[in-house]
Structure 1
């Protein structure tokens, strides 16, 4: 039996609404550029809502990547835990089927709620229908990737840069 924690890096958001899709885009870039240890899974969670309950209950550490409304300058990057999770767009009622906070509550009711952190960016535009993120958000993508990799390492996962 191993003490290795299972880590899920979950990119969420709607890629059709500009910066709301940043979480999915970060995960896609991480998949392209790195290989991860066997205890780390990367997932495009899109707008799946409660359909993410299974994968969430199967992990010990959940790292959500998303757009975050923190009333700061567009491009500001946040690390959220605990009650601050409500600032993440995925943790609010939006175009998502249900918010992730509700899904976390359901995981809690099943006595299988993972430890959770959100790495997010203040969006410049999350309402315009377009599949590219804004220039401001795109410029922050490498920094967000770096922050996710720091969280993976802190949680006990590892990674290697692909050549």
Structure 2
């Protein structure tokens, strides 16, 4: 059985819904780890994540949590706590994660699963990038993730300080309307052809 895996889940197309994926990439680009750990972007893999629940000893999921609290609040939810939280199931992948936990909890052998979640402000608007509240709380979310990783006897060392807008631009080319390279809009094209 493999040891430890961090899985960032979410959907980058819906504002704060991408925070888990951004966090996993942020860890990859800004930290080095000494010990047996993998960090992956789980996206919206849904039930395909179950393989990880069976192949690893410890699974840490970075995600949003639909808990009635103010945006930016951070929660550490071991799987047994999560199974008792009916209100958590709001987005499609949240429903799938809880359903997978219910299935694997009936098996003899499965990972210790912990959700490290942050309450989002906006997961309805289509847009790539975090809201201001989530940006302000992002470093603390990462600090909690690092603490969780270190609790597995893994040494974490910060090796870079790439900011979240640059991380997301490196992944998808855009962040809150800023692009890696400017794409001309319709007016620019009209103006250029009228010269």
TM-score (norm 2): 0.73
Checking the alignment, whether the CA contact within 8 Å between 1:45 and 1:52 is kept in structure 2 is yes
- What is the CA-CA distance between 1:118 and the residue it aligns to? 1.4
Greater shift in the superposed pair: 96-105 or 121-130: 96-105
Greater shift in the superposed pair: 12-21 or 52-61: 52-61
Checking the alignment, whether the CA contact within 8 Å between 1:104 and 1:113 is kept in structure 2 is no
SS in 2 for 1:31: helix
Inter-partner Cα distance in structure 1 for 2:90 and 2:119: 17
- Are residues 1:135 and 2:132 paired? yes
Aligned pair partner of 1:95 in 84, 92, 97: 92
Checking the alignment, whether the CA contact within 8 Å between 1:67 and 1:88 is kept in structure 2 is no
RMSD of aligned Cα (Å) = 2.4
CA shift digits 1:121-153 (9 cap, x unpaired): 111101111111111111111111110111111
- Are residues 1:29 and 2:26 paired? yes
Checking the alignment, whether the CA contact within 8 Å between 2:53 and 2:113 is kept in structure 1 is no
Aligned residues: 159
Inter-partner Cα distance in structure 1 for 2:94 and 2:78: 22
TM-score (norm 1): 0.86
Greater shift in the superposed pair: 105-114 or 9-18: 105-114
Checking the alignment, whether the CA contact within 8 Å between 2:7 and 2:60 is kept in structure 1 is yes
Task: Structure 1: state its 5+ residue gaps.
Answer: none
Please say which structure displays the higher CA radius of gyration: 2
Inter-partner Cα distance in structure 2 for 1:84 and 1:28: 27
